[in-house]
């Protein structure tokens, strides 16, 4: 929420100035206001020591001078870096501020002037420990809390082997939320290294980066009257956000046997997901929000290297949900379907949400395999498309509002404008109505004063990804009778030159699941009275409104040919490459997930061999046959011609001068070509 501060007028006498603070929510429908403005005033005796006002002791309506401070205590420093250890260590904590008192905790709780142990000498650590510290001095502002996680894998693989709660954790969540703790001895001590064993589990735990989340346990679970967000997984919105610390540690290597400490940031955390919020699911996913009230206000770290942004307002850690070992004991669990679908948009040349796998620990307890998903909202758009967050409209299905369309940023005005024009086009699919949505005249070339609302290539590519993966819970949802949508995001820069763009999101119900196999058909068209109701507008209904136009159909056919053939983004070779690149990462770490969650719902537990079987179905059964099936479905819908496109040999690339190109028509007919690149 932006806050505007104005002091006026400057010519008034001392003591008569006025300070106005004006706060605005992100949107009219956003009930969360994250700033509580309070005016703190006073004067300083510049001849004496400098002073600071204690922002933790604001006194609205009262004199502030009694709470002025002499300064801020310098941050604490630890003698040992966070990371992986095999032998006991001794950790010293210091602050450059003379006379300051350091207090620390090892149970995840926040150290305060009254909570924690007073530091007097280095702390002996020989098992997995989350060490938090802060420094205090009378008359000074205390430090922020410094958190460092020390991981001992010999200890991690033995966590709660009989399922009992870890030391200091409650036996239950305090609600109907099911809790499942510990590592399964059947995997940890398995004699087959392809399935488990102590060495295999430890290798899996250091195969990919680690995220450590630390928070006061009452923030996490209902304890002593608290409202822990994990105990109440259905809770949404800012009211269910709780403070936490996040650390990232890269795996050990020759340069650093303990791993590499990448960052520590204080932030807010909530539960993420829809159906997966079910309290019978013991493994939830998370939203993380980086706000000024927690610390830096942003995560300033290139989480995806050169491939992505260097700072983030929010990030998600998602995990297998509907077809997971933890929730349902499902043998189809791959950690690949949803992730590969997002990378498909990258390979199609479209904006996409990036993927990176992590192991997650919560207060030192191993919580399993997760991966990132960039939240494709206004801050994402600001990072990748420029401008400010306030420049963007972001639309999506609101699950809590009956699966109707809503705006998470901006408003629905331009989305409704596009919907109105698409409905007009559906009734009269003329070129004038079609190109108007792109800000063009009926010739498809001449710009007009109409706003650019439609990016046809992005919409087509999004629909092709939906059709090829047979996504059953997006736009539209099989579980909602194909009359409403779920799990889609669209965004547009107001007054921009590009129409709405759409993002693959939660494509879990896909690749033959929950039924349909290789021949599953999600192309529709889905005839529904909801298509006439703006509240249920979505990309699929938009696509259906455009299908009557010949220009749109040939554009759809051209994009299909581009992606389905000649190693395009939806060709078998491209899918195999994507799956193999992700599968190599998951395969290196899946044994740890098996030890943590493989026995959650089944006995004997799910293992790496189950994962390999699910992976091989994708690579050996679904991928080779799927393209032919989808082409047939598109032909039935009039979106791909019955006549095959000509083939060229060689098909592009660098060739010697004088190379002859041979063109042939697989289904016969006359080939027309233009050697100058024109249509």
Q: What is the pLDDT of residue 636?
A: 97
Q: Give the count of alpha carbons within 13 A of 154, CB side only.
A: 6
Over its C-alpha atoms, the chain yields an Rg (Å, rounded) of 28
Q: Where are the beta strands (DSSP E) in 319-459?
A: 357-362, 365-373, 392-398, 404-409
Do the bridges between strand 260-272 and strand 311-312 make them parallel or antiparallel, or are there none, so unpaired?
Answer: unpaired
Q: What is the pLDDT of residue 205?
A: 98
Tell the residue number behind the tokens 């696509």, with chain if given. 543
Q: What is the pLDDT of residue 675?
A: 87
CA gap 479, 330 in Å, rounded: 19
Whole-number mean pLDDT of the chain?
92
**Between the CA of residue 360 and those of 266, 364, 368, 421, 593, what are the distances in Å?**
16, 9, 6, 46, 10
Instruction: For residue 568, say if its preceding peptide bond is cis, omega within 30 degrees of 0.
Output: no
Please classify residue 60 by burial: count the beta carbons closer than 10 Å to its beta carbon, then call 0-12 exposed, 13-18 middle and 19+ buried: exposed
Q: What is the pLDDT of residue 61?
A: 61
Other beta carbons within 10 angstroms of residue 401's beta carbon come to 11
Q: What is the pLDDT of residue 252?
A: 98
Q: What is the pLDDT of residue 1?
A: 47
Average pLDDT over residues 427-452: 98
**φ/ψ bin of 160: left (φ > 0), alpha (ψ from -120 to 50), beta (otherwise):** left
Please classify residue 114 by burial: count the beta carbons closer than 10 Å to its beta carbon, then call 0-12 exposed, 13-18 middle and 19+ buried: exposed
**φ/ψ bin of 613: left (φ > 0), alpha (ψ from -120 to 50), beta (otherwise):** alpha
CA gap 62, 530 in Å, rounded: 57
Residues with Cβ within 8 Å of 660's Cβ and at least 6 positions away in sequence, in order, are none
Q: What is the pLDDT of residue 459?
A: 98
Provide the 3-class DSSP secondary structure of residue 87: coil
DSSP letter at 529 equals: G
Average pLDDT over residues 167-178: 96
Structure-token pair, residue 198? 């102590």
Per residue in 276-318, pLDDT (tens digit) is: 999 999 999 999 999 999 998 999 999 999 999 999 999 999 9
Other beta carbons within 10 angstroms of residue 325's beta carbon come to 29
CA gap 302, 291 in Å, rounded: 18
C-beta of residue 356 within 8 angstroms of C-beta of residue 372: yes
CA angle 539, 544, 545 (to 5 degrees): 95
Q: What is the pLDDT of residue 667?
A: 87
Least confident of 27-36, 301-310, 334-343, 516-525: 27-36
Q: Is the pLDDT of residue 622 over 80?
A: yes
CA gap 461, 539 in Å, rounded: 11
Per residue in 6-36, pLDDT (tens digit) is: 444 444 445 555 566 666 666 666 666 555 5
Q: What is the pLDDT of residue 177?
A: 98
Q: What is the pLDDT of residue 9?
A: 46
| pLDDT band at 679; cut points 50, 70, 90 | confident
Pick the closest to residue 247 from 117, 164, 359, 163 (CA basis): 359
Q: Is the pLDDT of residue 41 over 70?
A: no
Average pLDDT over residues 425-454: 98
More confident residue, 462 or 26: 462
Pick the closest to residue 487 from 381, 393, 376, 382 (CA basis): 376
Ordered DSSP codes for 108-154:
SPPP-SSSSEEP-SPEEE-S-EEEEEEEE-TTEEPPPPEEEEEE-HH
Tell the residue number behind the tokens 């996409």, with chain if given. 352
């Amino acid at each position: 929420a932006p806050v505007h501060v104005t002091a006026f007028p400057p010519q008034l006498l001392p003591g008569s100035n006025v300070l106005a603070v004006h706060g605005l929510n992100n949107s009219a429908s956003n009930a969360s206001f994250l700033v509580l403005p309070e005016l703190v005033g006073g004067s300083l005796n510049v001849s004496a020591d400098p002073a600071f006002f204690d922002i933790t002791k604001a006194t609205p309506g009262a004199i502030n001078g009694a709470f002025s401070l002499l300064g801020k205590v310098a941050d604490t420093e630890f003698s040992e870096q966070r990371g992986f250890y095999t032998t006991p260590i001794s950790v010293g904590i210091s602050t450059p501020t003379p006379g300051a008192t350091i207090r620390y905790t090892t149970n995840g709780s926040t150290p305060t002037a009254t909570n924690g142990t007073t530091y007097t000498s280095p702390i002996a650590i020989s098992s997995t420990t989350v060490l938090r510290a802060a420094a205090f001095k009378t008359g000074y502002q205390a430090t922020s809390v410094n958190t460092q996680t020390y991981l001992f894998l010999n200890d991690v693989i033995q966590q709660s082997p009989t399922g009992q709660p870890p030391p200091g954790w409650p036996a239950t969540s305090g609600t109907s939320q099911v809790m499942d703790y510990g590592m399964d001895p059947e995997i940890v001590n398995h004699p087959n290294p392809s399935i488990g064993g102590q060495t295999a589990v430890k290798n899996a735990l250091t195969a990919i980066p680690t995220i450590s989340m630390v928070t006061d346990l009452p923030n996490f679970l209902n304890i002593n009257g608290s409202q822990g967000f994990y105990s109440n997984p259905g809770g949404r919105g800012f009211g269910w956000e709780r403070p936490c610390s996040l650390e990232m540690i890269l795996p050990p290597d020759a340069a650093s046997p303990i791993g590499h400490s990448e960052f520590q940031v204080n932030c807010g955390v909530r539960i993420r997901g829809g159906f997966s919020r079910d309290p019978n699911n013991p493994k939830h996913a998370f939203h993380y929000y980086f706000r000024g009230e927690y610390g830096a206000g942003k995560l300033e770290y290139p989480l995806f290297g050169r491939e992505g942004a260097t700072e983030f307002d929010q990030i998600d850690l998602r995990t297998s949900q509907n077809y997971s070992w933890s929730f349902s004991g499902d043998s189809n669990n791959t950690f690949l379907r949803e992730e590969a679908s997002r990378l498909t948009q990258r390979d199609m040349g479209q904006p996409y949400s990036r993927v990176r796998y992590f192991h997650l620990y919560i207060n030192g307890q191993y919580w399993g395999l997760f991966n990132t998903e960039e939240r494709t909202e206004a801050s994402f758009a600001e990072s990748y498309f420029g401008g400010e967050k306030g420049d963007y409209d972001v639309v999506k299905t609101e699950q809590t509002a009956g699966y109707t369309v809503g705006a998470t940023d901006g408003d629905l005005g331009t989305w409704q404008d596009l919907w109105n024009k698409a409905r007009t086009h559906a009734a009269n699919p003329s070129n004038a109505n079609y190109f108007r949505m792109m800000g063009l005249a009926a010739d498809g070339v001449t710009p007009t004063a109409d706003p650019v609302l439609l990016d046809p290539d992005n919409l087509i590519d999004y629909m092709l990804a939906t059709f090829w993966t047979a996504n059953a819970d997006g736009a539209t949802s099989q579980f909602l009778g194909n009359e409403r949508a779920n799990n889609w995001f669209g965004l547009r820069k107001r007054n921009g030159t590009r129409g709405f763009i759409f993002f693959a999101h939660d494509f879990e119900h896909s690749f033959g699941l929950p039924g349909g196999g290789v021949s599953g058909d999600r192309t529709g068209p889905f005839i529904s009275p909801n298509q006439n109701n703006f509240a249920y507008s979505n990309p699929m209904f938009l696509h259906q409104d455009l299908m009557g136009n010949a220009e749109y159909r040939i554009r759809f056919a051209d994009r299909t040919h581009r992606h389905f053939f000649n190693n395009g983004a939806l060709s078998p070779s491209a899918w195999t490459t994507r799956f193999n690149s992700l599968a190599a990462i998951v395969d290196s770490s899946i044994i740890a997930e098996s030890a943590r969650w493989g026995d959650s719902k089944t006995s004997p537990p799910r293992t790496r061999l189950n994962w390999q079987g699910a992976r091989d179905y994708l690579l050996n059964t679904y991928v080779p046959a799927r393209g032919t099936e989808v082409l047939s479905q598109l032909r039935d819908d009039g979106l791909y011609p019955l006549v095959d496109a000509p083939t060229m040999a060689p098909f592009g690339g660098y060739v010697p001068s004088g190379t002859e190109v041979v063109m042939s028509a697989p289904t016969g007919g006359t080939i027309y070509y233009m050697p100058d690149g024109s249509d």
